[in-house]
Amino acid sequence: MWDELINVFSSLADAYEHVGAIAGEKREALTQADTARLKKISEEEARVVDEINQLETGRQKVIANIVGSSADIDQMSSMRETLERCPDAYRERLVGEVMRLRDAMMAASKMEQGNATMAKTAIGFTEYHINRIGGAAVEPGYGDGGQEIVSHSKNFDFKA
C-alpha cells in the first residue's frame, strides 16, 4: 500500500512538473501571439489535467485502503499525521515525493498566474486598439457595475 501511495505521489509530481513545462511554452506562445500554438498547448494541458484527475482518484483509493487497514489513520488525518504513522522503510521516499509534488504544484501555479496576467493584458491591449480603430472613446466616469462607459462616433451614414 505504501509503495502504491509513493508511486501515485511520484506520478502526480511528474504530471504537475509537466503542467509547469506547458505553462512555460504557453508563456512563450502568448508573447509571440501564436494562437495556433496556444490551441495545441491548451489541448495538451487539458490532457494532462485529465491525467491528474485520474491520478487523484487513484490517490484517494490508496488512502482509503490505508485507512481501512490502519487503526491509527482515518479519513480526517492530515498528511503530516499520515507521514508520522508511515512505516520507517517508506517514510523517507514518501516525504521526498510529497515535497516534490508540493514544489511542482507551487511552480505550476505561479507560472499559470503569470500567464493569466499576460493574457488579460493582451486582451486589454487588443480591446484598446480595436476601440481606437473603431472610433470608440472611454468616458471619464463609470457606469452600472463599475464598467467603463464607451461611446462610439458615427463613422459613416448608412441608409438602407
129 falls within a domain? yes
pLDDT per position as a tens digit, 83-137 = 777 888 988 999 999 999 999 999 999 999 988 888 888 887 777 777 777 666 6
Cα(156)–Cα(5) distance, rounded to whole angstroms? 68
Helix orientation angle between 2-32 and 35-69, rounded to the nearest 10 degrees: 160
160 falls within a domain? no
43 falls within a domain? yes
158 falls within a domain? no
Residue type, 79: M
Task: Find, among 74, 75, 100, 105, the residue nearest to 6 by Cα.
Answer: 100
Domain boundaries, position 95: 2-152
CATH of the domain at 53: 1.20.58
pLDDT per position as a tens digit, 38-50 = 999 999 999 999 9
